[in-house]
Structure 1
Amino acid sequence: MMAPRTSVPEPHARRSMLGVLRVYLGPLKWQVALLSALLLGGTGLNLLLPQLLRRFVDNAKLIGGADVGLLTRLAALYIVLAIGVQLMTAGATYVGARVGWTATNRLRADLMAHLLSLDMHEHKERTPGEMIERIDGDVTALSNFFSQFAVRVFGAALLLTGAVIMFWREDWRVGAGITVFTVITLLAMNWVRQLGVEPTKAEREASAKLFGFVEERLTGLEDIRALGAGGHHLNRFLQTQRDFFTRSTFSWRRRSVVWQLSMLLFAVGYVGLLSAAVGLYAAGTITLGTAFLLYQYMSMIEEPIDQLTQQLQDLQKAGASLGRVSEILALRSQIHGGTRTLPPGALSLRFQHVNFTYNPADPDTRGVLHDVSLELPAGQTLGLLGRTGSGKTTLTRLVSRLYDATGGQVCLGGVDVRDVPLHDLRTRVAVVTQDVQLFQASVRDNLSFFDPHISDEQVEAALLEVGLGAWLDRLPEGVRTPLPAGSLSAGEAQLLAFARVMLRDPAVIILDEPSSRLDPATEALLTAAMTRLLAGRTAIIIAHRLDTVARADRILVLGGGEVLEHGERAVLALDPRSQYAGLLRAGVTAEDEGVLA
């Protein structure tokens, strides 16, 4: 996979096709120069062929007898030049495809990097299927356009211009007529081309919805089957597919107007040219060979315009795709890092009058967090309890700046997290979610996140550290063994996530409900690994079970986005009025008490 090597272009450049061509074709200037040379050479030879044909026809009809040797030489030269045209055309096609795919591969890499850098709320508003359609479907449409544009559109423009000039050289009257015909044809096709832009854009949007629908249903396949809802989802799929089909056919009909108009105009053009050629020949103004020459040049007018009409349909698709890609590239992250560095070692954590809402644009929306303040000394563990929707996960997201607080301040090691470079911050803060994401890759790649600088020995050491040594011994290829998604139990997946953190050696660790779905035996293994993982580090543990936070230094109870209780765990456990002590006395789980969820 290619690494992004270009900066994301500025919005005003992305809004135009020329801007994209400049950004992504500019670094390929030498290949573009070679492509231009091939196109110019091929066009020049193509324009010379009718001249040879005229000489051949005029010499072949001489009354005194044709010069067989001259005809042979003309025929041989014609064949050689025709082969040269084909070779140059093939070379231009190859170089054009190479230039086009190189440029769009860079665009695809830039787009992927840009999507990964966007704020979380942008990803919440769009399905993964829609994002896939942006990177794959839209960029593929652009790659087809880029790879054919230079060869067919630029080459056709050269041939068209050359043919018109040759008409003027032969007879100014014919040249003037052909020029007017060409201008009218191009203007008419450019006008009708606009008819297909919006329908094509709607077609791409429908395609993105279809991708998103399929992705969501495949993700939720277990629930759909368990609840017997397959038929209902199939009906909805057919509705979504019908919408895509309807928009696709409508878009195709609009785009087809271009070539239909081209056929009509050229029928008129050929009749006019042949009438003029017959009239001029009858008047003795031109020879029979010149009449053939005019017909050949007319076909050179038709061929590039036909190419342009075909490419204009691809241009419609590319224009719609470029607009949709530009919309994504125009999005800008509101989360920017600073320049301050975090102190070494374990870091203290402080929330100071923190407020947060997922919709800051709406002042009437009640925030998720309200005036949250707390202090967590470096190297200590905070047990975070609260009902579902109380703001537990949101609070931890502010530490790694997946979101920014809409009010107040979050500090690590006495430094405002907004003043720290994002890469440095997320290197020092590790998050282990309840739903661990595993990839269809090797064990090594799952733990290192495809980082080639991490050695196999480091991966093995991390697995041994979290208690997965016996599991590792059973793998046929060790850490290089492929790890199919869904092949691990919940406990093994959590331990692998712990091993990921071990490889990074962060200063702050956030565990989101690490033992909520585990049996007691697996939970005991996980607890032992967690003890080793948290040693010497600052940690926040979001928990449903009280056993999970039994060794935490401090307890924080959230309710309705506010701090209900906060203090040292040992002190709260001895305070008969604390909610934490009440839970301990009752000997119940968080769900039974109703304080937690």
Structure 2
Amino acid sequence: MAVLRTYLGPLWWRVLLLAVLLFTATGLNLILPQLLRQFVDGAKLGAAAPVAQLAGLAGVYIGVAVGVQLLTASATYVGARVGWRATNRLRADLMTHMLSLDMHEHKERTPGEMIERIDGDVTALSNFFSQFAVRVFGAALLLIGAIVMFYRENVWIGLGITSFVIITLIAMNRVRKAGVEPTRLERESSAKLFGFIEERLAGLDDVRSLGAGQHHLNRYLKVQREYFGRSTFSWRRRSVVWQLSMALFAAGYVAILVSAVGLYAAGAISLGTAFLLYQYMNMIEEPIDQLTQQLQDLQKAGASLFRVGELLALRSSLPEGVQQLPAGALPLAFKEVDFSYDPTDATVRGVLHGVSFTLPAGQTLGLLGRTGSGKTTLTRLVSRLYDPTSGSVQLGGLDTRDLKLSSLRSRVAVVTQDVQLFQASVRDNLTFFDDTLPDERVEAALHEVGLSAWLARLEQGVQTPLPAGSLSAGEAQLLAFARVMLQDPALIILDEPSSRLDPATEGLLTAAMTRLLSGRTAIVIAHRLDTVARADRILVLGDGQVLEDGPRDVLAANPRSHYAGLLRAGVGAEGEGVLA
């Protein structure tokens, strides 16, 4: 009910319309057996009953029946709109919440599992929400109306039907609870299956090249077998509800037929009334049958709500600050920063140890070091994907832990080697689906990074769809630069932007990078010295510690510096002998 209030509350007028449709449909539905009784009793009279009167009753019956169907269809449509709108809001809230979590939470779950959690579980809820109002509330109205009609015909039959309904609902509610936990386990195994498939598809080339297809197929069958076993067990537990319903209603129909036949034989009721009692028994069965089906959906929804609640209960280890970053290029400072990915485990050695340096505003830092030296971890602390274990990271003179995350991440841009592109238009790829940016700004950003000729070849300009895999590595990097241009950040982090490029494309990229970094603070992670040839400062990391830090010209002129040794050796920052 808390979820219903939260996500159905803003849709109150649609819910009100739905209630009107349901009340009207239920009222008309209850009239139908009354019309049927009049028709049967009139037909039993034979020639004494006017044919015109019977034809009129039949016409009214058909009109009311058609009206009930139209109202029910309208209620179903409105209910589906309400349900999907509510759960789409839930999806958006879940997505926003997950994006607010720190990287520790994202590392513990595969993308496939997260897709199943955010989409699969919420879809189970949307199916429940979209039918709940129509079928459950509508069924409850019809059930109450039918019971009232039984009391109007015969108090004792009304008491008997009331007792029957109470016993049936209590029994079904008790057996329903047995299906919640198996359904939750079924959803978990479904998420595990999706995660397994996503990981294998992502590494398909490696799986094939290493001849490991059969091994992964066997693993897949094992995961699929677990999902199948839990699904069938969960279905058996949920099916107990409708099996019990069938047994109880078999007894209920026998009882009502015996009562109707007995009363008719005793002359207490007419034949039409006997038909009426049977019709109202159908109206008792139909809503309880609907409730039975919805109870099974409720089991699924209950399990999904539990898992959704688990996600919403997760809290980021990165507390939200309140301060905003000032405008313009910003200085960056690390002060005695230590960092470990698992600070609770004393046996795990930290990644960074006592890292301290200062990068003035508007300058570019070339970050060098062997693989595993802590270069990428250092940049992750700048964009606050993690917080330092000790020490502080300061941007614009403010501790990053005191900043609003939205302010920090809107002013810090990261360009990685693997540029993520979407199957969307060029514009959407650059703006991340922001409709407020005009096409002129998008085109200007493409011109700025040297993609004018490429843009001119696009049939629909920036609205041209960009199929995945249609760009070269250089074009993808330049598109990433254009993204940054549109964001206009204060600090830019480039993770070896030219590592996969040929010399000609690298020259184009270098020119674009020069324009991109102009007037901005920047960190460039480099494995090739050409990439940092224009950097203002050089920082060399080794084993998580600062081996060297200073102006590039000064370090190049010092024959005993690590950077000068790299220049003499003519190797990249991965030079094992120089940086050892």
TM-score (norm 2): 0.95
Cα deviation for residue 431 of structure 1 reads: 0.9
Counterpart residue type for residue 343 of structure 2: P
The answer to whether the 8 A contact 1:387-1:595 is kept is: no
Where 1:211 maps in the other structure, the secondary structure is helix
1:249-282 deviation digits (Å, cap 9, x = unpaired): 2222222111111111111111122222223333
Give the aligned partner of residue 313 of structure 1. Answer: 296
Give me the whole-angstrom Cα distance separating, in 1, the residues matched to 2:291 and 2:245. 10
Give the aligned partner of residue 334 of structure 1. Answer: 317
Counterpart residue type for residue 530 of structure 1: M
Matched, 1:562 2:545: yes
Give me the whole-angstrom Cα distance separating, in 1, the residues matched to 2:50 and 2:465. 76
1:319-343 deviation digits (Å, cap 9, x = unpaired): 1122222222222333344333333
Give the aligned partner of residue 531 of structure 1. Answer: 514
Give the aligned partner of residue 472 of structure 1. Answer: 455
2:245 to 246, 253, 262: 262
Spell out the pairing of 1:8-87 with structure 2 (5 A cutoff).
Answer: 18-62=1-45, 65-87=48-70
Give me the whole-angstrom Cα distance separating, in 1, the residues matched to 2:187 and 2:213. 27
Matched, 1:390 2:373: yes
Matched, 1:571 2:541: no
Matched, 1:140 2:123: yes
1:68-100 deviation digits (Å, cap 9, x = unpaired): 454344333323322222222122112212211
Cα deviation for residue 298 of structure 1 reads: 1.0
Give the aligned partner of residue 191 of structure 1. Answer: 174
1:400-448 deviation digits (Å, cap 9, x = unpaired): 2122222211111212222232222222211111111111122222222
Counterpart residue type for residue 551 of structure 2: E
Give the aligned partner of residue 84 of structure 2. Answer: 101
Spell out the pairing of 1:376-455 with structure 2 (5 A cutoff).
Answer: 376-455=359-438
The answer to whether the 8 A contact 1:583-1:593 is kept is: no
Give the aligned partner of residue 178 of structure 1. Answer: 161
2:442 to 459, 463, 466: 459
Give the aligned partner of residue 593 of structure 1. Answer: 576
Cα deviation for residue 301 of structure 1 reads: 0.8
The answer to whether the 8 A contact 1:100-1:144 is kept is: yes
Change over 3 Å in CA distance of 1:290–1:474 after alignment to 2: closer
Counterpart residue type for residue 518 of structure 2: A
The answer to whether the 8 A contact 1:387-1:559 is kept is: yes
**Superposed CA RMSD:** 2.1
Give me the whole-angstrom Cα distance separating, in 1, the residues matched to 2:20 and 2:127. 22
Where 2:64 maps in the other structure, the secondary structure is helix
Change over 3 Å in CA distance of 1:76–1:374 after alignment to 2: same
Counterpart residue type for residue 412 of structure 2: V
1:111 to 81, 94, 113: 94
Matched, 1:544 2:527: yes
The answer to whether the 8 A contact 2:565-2:578 is kept is: no
Give me the whole-angstrom Cα distance separating, in 1, the residues matched to 2:390 and 2:314. 23
1:373-402 deviation digits (Å, cap 9, x = unpaired): 111111211111122222111111111212
Matched, 1:152 2:135: yes
Counterpart residue type for residue 415 of structure 1: L
The answer to whether the 8 A contact 2:426-2:464 is kept is: yes
Q: Which piece of structure 1 moves more, 345-354 or 565-574?
A: 565-574
Counterpart residue type for residue 122 of structure 2: V
Matched, 1:358 2:352: no
Counterpart residue type for residue 43 of structure 1: T
Give me the whole-angstrom Cα distance separating, in 1, the residues matched to 2:144 and 2:457. 71
Give me the whole-angstrom Cα distance separating, in 2, the residues matched to 1:175 and 1:596. 91
Counterpart residue type for residue 326 of structure 1: G
Unaligned runs of 5+ in 1: 1-17
Q: Which piece of structure 1 moves more, 111-120 or 179-188?
A: 111-120
Give me the whole-angstrom Cα distance separating, in 2, the residues matched to 1:413 and 1:33. 53
Give me the whole-angstrom Cα distance separating, in 2, the residues matched to 1:31 and 1:548. 59
Q: Which piece of structure 1 moves more, 48-57 or 398-407?
A: 48-57
Where 1:338 maps in the other structure, the secondary structure is coil
Give me the whole-angstrom Cα distance separating, in 1, the residues matched to 2:249 and 2:331. 78
Give me the whole-angstrom Cα distance separating, in 2, the residues matched to 1:74 and 1:480. 62
Where 1:591 maps in the other structure, the secondary structure is coil
Give the aligned partner of residue 105 of structure 2. Answer: 122
Counterpart residue type for residue 93 of structure 1: T
Give the aligned partner of residue 236 of structure 1. Answer: 219
Counterpart residue type for residue 254 of structure 1: R
The answer to whether the 8 A contact 2:412-2:492 is kept is: yes
The answer to whether the 8 A contact 2:369-2:574 is kept is: no
The answer to whether the 8 A contact 2:371-2:574 is kept is: no
Matched, 1:279 2:254: no
Give me the whole-angstrom Cα distance separating, in 1, the residues matched to 2:82 and 2:573. 61
Give me the whole-angstrom Cα distance separating, in 2, the residues matched to 1:79 and 1:592. 88
Cα deviation for residue 294 of structure 1 reads: 1.5
Give the aligned partner of residue 285 of structure 2. Answer: 302
Give the aligned partner of residue 249 of structure 1. Answer: 232
Give me the whole-angstrom Cα distance separating, in 2, the residues matched to 1:476 and 1:401. 40
The answer to whether the 8 A contact 2:562-2:579 is kept is: no
Unaligned runs of 5+ in 2: none
Give the aligned partner of residue 5 of structure 1. Answer: none
Give me the whole-angstrom Cα distance separating, in 2, the residues matched to 1:590 and 1:537. 24
Q: Which piece of structure 1 moves more, 300-309 or 328-337?
A: 328-337
1:514 to 488, 494, 497: 497
Matched, 1:583 2:563: no
The answer to whether the 8 A contact 2:538-2:551 is kept is: yes
1:98-144 deviation digits (Å, cap 9, x = unpaired): 21122222222222222222222222111111121123222221111
Where 2:244 maps in the other structure, the secondary structure is helix
Q: Which piece of structure 1 moves more, 405-414 or 18-27?
A: 405-414
Where 2:356 maps in the other structure, the secondary structure is strand
Counterpart residue type for residue 150 of structure 1: A
TM-score (norm 1): 0.92
Q: Which piece of structure 1 moves more, 334-343 or 296-305?
A: 334-343
Give me the whole-angstrom Cα distance separating, in 2, the residues matched to 1:389 and 1:426. 25
How many residues in Structure 1 have an aligned counterpart in Structure 2?
Answer: 580
Q: Which piece of structure 1 moves more, 468-477 or 375-384?
A: 468-477
Change over 3 Å in CA distance of 1:156–1:548 after alignment to 2: same
Give the aligned partner of residue 10 of structure 1. Answer: none
Give me the whole-angstrom Cα distance separating, in 2, the residues matched to 1:66 and 1:460. 83
The answer to whether the 8 A contact 2:354-2:545 is kept is: yes
Cα deviation for residue 36 of structure 1 reads: 1.0
Cα deviation for residue 481 of structure 1 reads: 2.4
Give the aligned partner of residue 4 of structure 1. Answer: none
Give me the whole-angstrom Cα distance separating, in 2, the residues matched to 1:22 and 1:206. 30
1:328-369 deviation digits (Å, cap 9, x = unpaired): 222233334433333332211111111222223435433222
Counterpart residue type for residue 456 of structure 1: D
1:178-233 deviation digits (Å, cap 9, x = unpaired): 11111111111111212221222222222212221222222212222222322322
2:354 to 371, 375, 397: 371
Counterpart residue type for residue 264 of structure 2: Y
Change over 3 Å in CA distance of 1:540–1:279 after alignment to 2: same
Where 2:48 maps in the other structure, the secondary structure is coil
Counterpart residue type for residue 218 of structure 2: N
